Structure 1
């Protein structure tokens, strides 16, 4: 299931640069320096993205066209395609290529993103404004009502994907709305900063979002009449400029931003839950190891005690017999008082029973302590299972 929208672009370089590197200045610099990009998957009908840009610019100059390409966004539901599944990412990219080829006989570039603020997979589909069969500019599928929605729904049905039951025109996100503003102009720079702030995972509520905006030199204000308004110092005259959120994109309004806040908050809670679960598992593993160690030590102590007990009994029997013999020898073999062997045996048995009872008491105390530790570990493991069972996922909007 996917929605689709389209905007003409007068700058192929700006559009493709955004898809590959984003709009954050530091991240763009990092990507360029490290030779990386933000694409989760990419397909191009010519040798490279920059060869694609060069061809778009050359054809526009040669034919005197203002629009160098058409920029399509194709957004997929996370209920059907997960951004963390590599197979799903590749499948979404393939669907973007098939839509481009179904719509036009023109060169195309399809960039799949998995890093949107809303956490869903989506394609940026760029098609050069030049029909390779007719040599003319693109005429079909250049608006949502002019065949675009039908072409996308037919593709979804043919490919076994879900189709929206009551299709609605997708609201343009910032990746498309920015095409309406001049490159390097106040509105585009402001919008890029707001979009970067919304993607920041610290933006879990308005307070956090405001702090991130401040780092980008942007202020957020709200009035009853205009709703959210963004302010930033203009680069051309140094004055404070402002723009209503509704004049940029629905994503930047209070309602649109709230969906993204909830997405970040859900992710934060899941990360915390995962961290707590990891710690609980470590504690439970430690408890199990401790219990195993206690039981092993107890077994060893019992074996050692039994060995000592047997040695003591042997010594006692030897001492009793020796005492009897010594007494007989001192009397020179004459009859003396009779030795009560039964009493001696009773004394030995009583001593042995006393030692055994002491050992049983000690083992019982160890058993009670071990059982207490087992119950505590079981409670922690049960809590871990409950947390895992209660985890839920959600998603918001993004670009």
Structure 2
């Protein structure tokens, strides 16, 4: 169970300083001891907190935005996450990050988990930069408490955790909260019902009602169920004509002072909404989801251990061997999936007799390529002074302007399929990240083979860490393109600091158009290559 809060952030530096060190005496103590407030569960899409702040300030300044980020606070109940358990702190950070990804999937995010709250509960601070890396605009959705609450409630249910202020079970109606306000008999019967509920939830959920009633009976409490038809639409969460089940608990009262022992009845709703039929069914569903999530987690752990054992037992192989095996397996699987088993040859074909030319006649012959390389129109020149360094993929692409482009993948009719798609994610939610990097790899290779410009939008949110992580399995053309893009970004930043706005514009325009080339850092003004040859394809 968790509560959420969201608000705009106008000063990233102040917010980051509070999240890392705190304020007042707490900040002074951390500074003196050389420590900070950051607990397990920390996550940052940038290389460090300082880089995250720099990125946020640069994006806000570049788009003239007053709101630099959105700050979310996610508080977890001590009954579900223990502030003294590092694993629970890590889980709190993971859940907060997942909530941020669902609310702002394309925005850089930082999560800081704290374990020093006065209430002794796990809570996570989430800072989401006010910039969508795909659209280039500020996020428009999920900026209100109601929107974040809906997403958080869905996430809590999926994780098998309780939900605050649900349709039937409100936080103020929890038995632990109401018990102190009730009389002795109500406390006695409520404690016995709570014990029976806890035992029943540990058994077979399909027979929960039967087990629950039996456990209540062993504790001296009878469960009486009645059905009635709702006669009005005025009650929240109920429609006229719905059939609702009411529960009444009957037990012997021997604790009320000044009263003789007698059997008394108490409606479930008078004790706690947790003990109503709707509350019990919700508890069953939450337990079912928790068990399913735990089973998935255990299965994933078993698979991970099997992969680790298989990797450790297998002899080391070179990158070329792994890539050759992958390409062969991919080719065989895709050809079989696309074409199915081959049809048997006809008697005429077996004898080698000529076949009908009708099919051949339907296909028009391809126009021949121009024999003279000069017939190919040259690329338009550019007036921006930029020095570039040759790379193998870039040289191949340049040669394609005047001759045949050397293929980057084996000469087949199949589309390139990135080896990253065969990578096994450590966590289920990382699969989307792997698919996105694989899509970038495939896009760059296909566009390079076709001698077309790269779609710059596809490369957004891919940086140096991604290059380092996937260099071993990523295509060489993709690695060179991404590294060239990083050199252009760095050159644009230096030009901006030097006040060379024309150079900044030229570099940014080239990147936006999908023209990536390596920019060397030189003290003197770089010289433009003749013909403006600094792009993949035409």
TM-score, normalised relative to structure 2 = 0.30
- RCO (CA 8 Å, sep 6+): is it higher in 1 or 2? 1
Larger radius of gyration: 1
- TM-score for the superposition, normalised by structure 1: 0.40
